[in-house]
Amino acid sequence: MQTLPEILGAIVLEAAHSLVPGLEVRGPVVQATADAAHGDYQTNLAFRLTKALRLPPTACAEALAQALPDHPAVRSVEVAGKGFLNLRLHDAWLADALLALTGGDELDLPSPGQGRTVVVDYGSPNVAKRMHVGHLRSTNIGDALVKMWRALGYTVLGDNHIGDWGTQFGKLIVAWDRWRDEAAFEADAIGELERIYVKFAQETGPELEDLARENTARLQAGDPELTALWERFVRASLEEFDAVYERMGVRFDLTLGESFFQPMLAPIVAELLDRGIAEVDDGAVVVRFDKADGKGLGDAPMLIRKRDGAALYATTDLAALRYREQQWDPDHVVYVTDMRQQLHFRQVFAGARKAALTDAELEHVWFGMLSLPEGAMATRKGNVIRLGKLLDEAATRSRAVVDTKSPELPEAERAAIAEAVGVSAVRYADLSQNPQSNVTFDWDRMLALEGNTAPFLMYSYARCCSVQRKAGLVQREVSGLHLGEPAERELALALLRYPEALITALAARRPNMLCEALFGLAGSFNRFWYQVPVLRAEADQRAARLALVEATARVLGHGMRLVGIHTLERM
């Protein structure tokens, strides 16, 4: 179905075109009003008619109001301010529209993504190293974007571009031979790999460096023994990563690490040289840019082969892009990483354009840094922590909340709730912030039951379910909606605004805008719940209100799942 702004925008445009045929309008025609006193939506289109009509804005607004076609959605129109038009929707029409949105097995959302394919490169931690909090953000934001695109009908391929190749493996193998502790590796593989890697750095000298280079070369040439060792490192790392993904409920469609693209690197460098897109510079190979390729790129050539012949991070990204083009013919390829990789991606995109590797739109969605609260969780380096430990800590802290709030529930259920609340709270604390701002975790705030938090949304959702349980409903359905009370109307409107919130948040690449809409929606639901009797209402009214509760559960639950929050029926 169409969103409210689409429906109303079309009505207003029809009127405008009847006054000024051929009028071109860019951008949204109507905006949601902040204050219900100004109606539900407002348009400033009159201001864009003044020239053609040679009338002041208020007169244009009057004319526009007169020309507005009859439509069942619109109850009243009024000219306001210096030429705005305020539109108010019909309650009965709202009820019908809400039924259309929520009445089926799935929400009837618009499907602008029909026939379009997006590849999302996100998560992407490096093997043999702790996943750091930057990867937490990439995983969180990437996963939310993937789910939002999917909800709007796009075909999405989520690809975990893990860093599983590079010279660090030559070093790790040397270190493994000399200093490994198998038992420590069994207990904590990444911890042990990090320990011996640090040891290598401390002990290093020309002899060890030579050995490391030799190992890297042997590994790249496919030496079976070293390959087996490398695989062991990779597998152990992926196990730890997978445990975190599992707890977070994140599933990648693909995990093609950097190693997957190795065979394609030498050929692509040769080809770019051949076509004159790359050039040799002091033994290395670079792609040079000029002003036309992008601001500042003129001074930043992209290195794609070192003097020793080794390929680089950028080379892999070029090869991966060509591969993605050939495999999936995407309309759009999106990379989600922290802000420090902006130059890298500008170079890769400029290089890919020069070489015509893909006709997809390329986009880097970058995010700011995330810091953890001072104290126990931070390690020496500040932000390299085990994400599993972070989630454990969140679960322990939520357990205290659950124990106070629901002491009557059985032990096992409280433990499960605490895990769900903890993980959801961590994800939401990240996602509810503008991605581009820096974020600091604050345990008390993210676990608060009031405010824009995961627990608040979770309790609101659970309340919907508990009302239904208390009503003894066998089948939960949305039917017989009727909007009488202002709080009912407010809630219905908040629900109907969900599709536009989803579209706007995705277009801005800001899941936090969706979070805000969900927070607003949960607020409307709670006001409704406190102001309007549901279980104690008379038969017809009771059924209509229970239907509104069910519509809330469906919309709120949908949005919560998009931003990675568990929807528990009882808490």
Specify the stretch interacting with ligand ARG by CB under 6 A; choose among 63-71, 121-129, 144-152, 174-182.
Answer: 121-129
Q: Which residue, 256 or 401, is less far from ligand ARG as judged by CB?
A: 256
Q: Which residue, 99 or 254, is less far from ligand ARG as judged by CB?
A: 254
Specify the stretch interacting with ligand ARG by CB under 6 A; choose among 81-89, 118-126, 325-333, 498-506.
Answer: 118-126
Site for ligand ARG contains 337 (CB under 6 A): yes
What is d(CA 563, CA 142) in angstroms, rounded to the nearest whole number?
Answer: 10
DSSP-assigned letter for residue 21: T
Site for ligand ARG contains 245 (CB under 6 A): no
Helix (H) or strand (E) segment spanning residue 190: helix 189-203
Helix (H) or strand (E) segment spanning residue 371: strand 370-371
Site for ligand ARG contains 317 (CB under 6 A): yes
Q: Which residue, 125 or 511, is less far from ligand ARG as judged by CB?
A: 125
Site for ligand ARG contains 165 (CB under 6 A): no
User: Between helices 224-248 and 189-203, what is the axis angle to 10°?
Assistant: 130
Amino acid at 391: L
Residues near ligand ARG (CB under 6 A), total: 9
- Please give the sequence-ordered ranges of beta strands (E in DSSP) within 130-176, or none if there are none: 155-159
Q: How big, in percent rounded to 5, are the helix, strand and coil portions of the chain? A: 55, 10, 30
Nearest approach in angstroms of CB 235 to ligand ARG is: 18
Residues 6+ apart with CB under 8 A from 184: 191, 192, 195
Site for ligand ARG contains 161 (CB under 6 A): yes
Site for ligand ARG contains 121 (CB under 6 A): yes
Q: Which of 3, 43, 102, 124 binds ligand ARG (CB under 6 A)?
A: 124
Q: Which residue, 335 or 428, is less far from ligand ARG as judged by CB?
A: 335
Q: Which of 165, 261, 335, 498 binds ligand ARG (CB under 6 A)?
A: 335
Q: Which residue, 16 or 136, is less far from ligand ARG as judged by CB?
A: 136
Site for ligand ARG contains 163 (CB under 6 A): yes
Please list every residue from 479 through 518 that binds ligand ARG, using CB under 6 A: none
User: Between helices 206-220 and 168-179, what is the axis angle to 10°?
Assistant: 110
What is d(CA 354, CA 567) in angstroms, rounded to the nearest whole number?
Answer: 47
Q: Which residue, 60 or 172, is less far from ligand ARG as judged by CB?
A: 172
- Are 254 and 159 within 8 A, CB to CB? yes
Residues 6+ apart with CB under 8 A from 514: 144, 148, 501, 502, 505, 506, 559, 562, 563
Nearest approach in angstroms of CB 163 to ligand ARG is: 4
Nearest approach in angstroms of CB 497 to ligand ARG is: 34
203's tokens:
């002990």
Specify the stretch interacting with ligand ARG by CB under 6 A; choose among 120-128, 352-360, 370-378, 412-420.
Answer: 120-128
End-to-end CA distance of the chain: 33
Site for ligand ARG contains 347 (CB under 6 A): no
Q: Which residue, 121 or 325, is less far from ligand ARG as judged by CB?
A: 121
Residues 6+ apart with CB under 8 A from 224: none
* Residue 80 dihedral angles phi and psi, to the nearest 5°: -135, 155
Establish how many alpha carbons lie within 13 A of residue 201's alpha carbon, considering only the half-sphere containing its beta carbon. Answer: 8
What is each CA distance from 118 to 158, 211, 356, 559, in whole angstroms?
A: 8, 43, 18, 20
Specify the stretch interacting with ligand ARG by CB under 6 A; choose among 76-84, 124-132, 206-214, 445-453.
Answer: 124-132
Site for ligand ARG contains 419 (CB under 6 A): no
Nearest approach in angstroms of CB 130 to ligand ARG is: 11
Measuring CA to CA, which residue among 167, 278, 257 is closest to residue 215?
A: 167
Nearest approach in angstroms of CB 337 to ligand ARG is: 5
Nearest approach in angstroms of CB 138 to ligand ARG is: 7
Site string for ligand ARG, 76-115 (x = CB under 6 A): ----------------------------------------
* Cα R_g (the chain), whole angstroms: 28
Site for ligand ARG contains 168 (CB under 6 A): no
- Are 326 and 356 within 8 A, CB to CB? no
Binding site for ligand ARG (CB under 6 A): 121, 124-126, 161, 163, 317, 335, 337
